[in-house]
Every structure is written in structure tokens, then in C-alpha cells.
Amino acid sequence: MDKGIIALLAVCLVAALVVSGCAQPAQSIEVQGILGIKSGECGKYSITTLAGQIYYPDLNAGFAKGLLEGDSLSVKGILLQEGSCQKIKVENAIVLERKGAAKYGAIVKADFALRLADGNLISTSVKEIAESAGFEIDGNKLQPIEFRAGLGNYVGKDGEIYPRVAEEAIGMRAGDEKRIILTPAEAEGIYDSSKIMKIPREEWPLPKGVDPDIGVEVTNVFGTYSVVKGFDENFIYFDMNPKYAGKSMEFWIKVIEVNNDAINDYKGIAEKNDTVKVDYVGSLMDGNVFDSSEGKQPLEFVVGAGQMIKGFDKAVLGMKVGDEKTVTIPPEEAYGESNPRLLLVMDKNSADYKARFDEDPMLGDEIDVNVVINGMDSIQTELSPKSTRIQ
């Protein structure tokens, strides 16, 4: 064989060996770890596993948007060894946990704006939003809300939050914002046409011949919110539905602060649908006690099931075993405002009175009577028996 040909074959063989020594077969890999963000020789993004190995995924801009250093990721792709850099050509990536994001039960502080679906503003904590809607600005009322992520029935200092909003807050962190569309059922409830009450005109405190203004809001009269729906010659009609019942809403929130440390504080506290036992003392504003568990078994009930007056239910939410609390419950969350229509008047000389009483009752005595409340469009409420105090 010609020596030149032999030399050429040798060169080719050496070249082949060099090439085969540098080439690596494609290797699929899946790693989980903590994200680092810092531009360097191996790339901008790194993932450090629990074992301390470092990989450099080529995360695309769309996926990486919103990621922060310290987030936990799972990345799957092809491992490429380039010098000392273990790079990953990413095929799939998942965020396992966002650092500082709200977990279930965390306290979230956020700015908000609540609007109807047509864009009309109902309430907000942001001055600029209030001003643009023509609201009068009261700095004391423009306050962020605080609630617990995932817990729509939790009653904090700002009251209850819509359950859907509380759920959507899970996974959000400071700086995140979100617009949440609430259906009527998720907001103030479905409109209920049966909640129209009609009151005889002579029982409403208007001068004779003066008609009520339709749309006027009435509070603290029926023990809840109502609005004048209409009237005719004999009756005035009141709508007892919540103000925004039947309306879809948009709830915008922008998270200011997340406190995940508060999750431990929440463990073991009373939530909606929990069965609790409580000792209690109920007194009027003048100090007179009207009810108490002293000398009796503790009161047992299901929180939020409507077994107790609304104010009592709300007071128990968030309490732990051993907690004590004194609350002032307004009439509309207790037994309602005094309603003269519910005062039963009996003629002492009538057959009904004589059949009911062998002797005159004492002031303050309680008796059982059967009462039918008229004046409802489609609601006939029978109270039988009902404890009635003689005045």
C-alpha cells in the first residue's frame, strides 16, 4: 500500500477518534431544585438540587416572566455538557412553589377595587381609582383589606371576603395583581323574588297622601337592608334582597404583603361548619343579663349554619379553645330592630283572651302563642310555638 495513503488513513482515524471523544449521546433528564437568577458563563438561570448539583436550563422568556430567585422548579429536557456547564435544553418546566407566595391560611394584605360587571365602582382602597370614579375621598376609609388565603368564611378586621377571592389569592405574592370575575352566586347571591315584603300604607310613617320615593334605601327597620321597590293604593313594597343580589362583579386585588407565618396561628380555630361548645353570657347594653350558660351545659352549635343569631356566629369564627371575647352585636345581627307590627294586642274581655288565661299574666311573663305574620307577597311565616313576652 502506498505510504501516502497509509498516512492519510491514519490522520482520518485520529480525527474520528477526536470527534467521537467529544460527542456525547443525548440524555433526557428531570431535575427539581431552587431557581437562581444571575447572568454568567453558563447562562442566566440555574437550578440547584437538594444534592447540591447545579444545572442551567434555557428557560424561555414567557415562562420565566414573574419568576423570582428562590422559586422551586421542576425541569425536564435534554442534558448538554458544555465544558464545566451542565445545561438543559428545556422541554417542560413547572413551578412547584413560588417563594413568598400565599399558602392556605396565610394572611394577605391587598389593595382592591370592586366593580359591577358594567364597570361602575362600588368600593376601593386606591385613591386614584376612587377619584377617577368621582367618589368623595375619605382617607380614613381608603384602607387595604386583610384576609386569609383560601378562607372565605374567615372574619377578620375587615369582615368576610368573597370565598372565590380568598381561593384565588393562594399562590399570589407581594406585587402580584389579579382580576377575578364573580358570578352572582359567588358575590351577593342570586336575586330572590320571594323576598319582596309588602307593608300596609297606614303602618308606614308617611303623612297621608305622601308617596314614598322608589329606590330609597331603608336600613335598621326590618333588621336588614331593604329598598323601596314600589307602591300602590294599599301597600308599600320593600325589596329585602342584598343590594347587589343578582349582579356579576369584578374584584381586582393587588397584593401588598403575605404573612405565611400566620398559618400556625390559624390552626385549631373555629371555622364555618365546625361544631363548637361555648360558655356565654348575654346582656343588654344596660348590663342586664338576659341569658347565660352559667349552671348549664355549654351551648353546642354548628358555626355558620344559622342556628345562632348572625352576630354570635361571626364572633365565634376565628376563636380557639380557651379564648374569651366580648362583642357588641347590633340589632340587625341580633334579633332585629323592634317592629311594632309584631306586638300582639289582645282584648282582655275577648273570648280568645279568656280562653287562654285563667288569670291575668304578670308583666315580664313569657307565654307560647301561635302567630301568623301577614303582609308577605309569597311568604307566610308561621311561628308556632313562639315565646312572647308580655309587656
What does the pLDDT read at residue 255?
96
What does the pLDDT read at residue 18?
42
pTM of the full structure: 0.61
The highest-level CATH class for domain 27-97 is mainly beta
Query: 77, 80, 67: which is closest to 35 by C-alpha?
Result: 67
Can you give the pLDDT of all 391 residues of the chain as single tens digits?
554 444 444 444 444 444 444 445 678 999 999 999 998 899 999 999 999 999 999 998 888 888 889 999 999 999 999 999 999 999 999 999 889 999 988 999 999 999 999 999 999 999 999 989 888 876 657 889 999 898 776 555 556 788 899 999 999 999 999 999 999 999 988 998 888 888 888 777 677 777 888 888 876 555 567 888 888 888 888 888 888 999 999 999 999 999 998 877 766 778 778 898 999 998 888 888 888 888 899 889 888 888 888 888 888 877 878 888 888 887 777 877 666 666 667 777 887 777 777 788 877 677 766 554 444 433 333 333 333 333 3
Say how far apart CA 151 and CA 167 lie, in whole Å: 7
What does the pLDDT read at residue 76?
95
Say how far apart CA 282 and CA 290 lie, in whole Å: 6
Query: 293, 280, 387, 365: which is closest to 329 by C-alpha?
Result: 280
Query: 165, 161, 240: which is closest to 198 by C-alpha?
Result: 240
**Domain boundaries along the sequence of the chain:** 27-97, 107-188+247-254, 193-239, 268-333, 343-389
Query: 302, 299, 297: which is closest to 277 by C-alpha?
Result: 299
What does the pLDDT read at residue 158?
55
What does the pLDDT read at residue 342?
64
What does the pLDDT read at residue 340?
64
What does the pLDDT read at residue 9?
41
Domain 268-333 has CATH 3.10.129.10: no
CATH fold of the domain at 107-188+247-254: Chitinase A; domain 3 (3.10.50)
Long-range CB pairs of 289-296, under 8 A, 24+ apart, other chains included: none
The reply to whether 268-333 shares the fold of 107-188+247-254 is: yes
**Which residue reads 422541554 in cell numbers?**
91
What does the pLDDT read at residue 273?
82
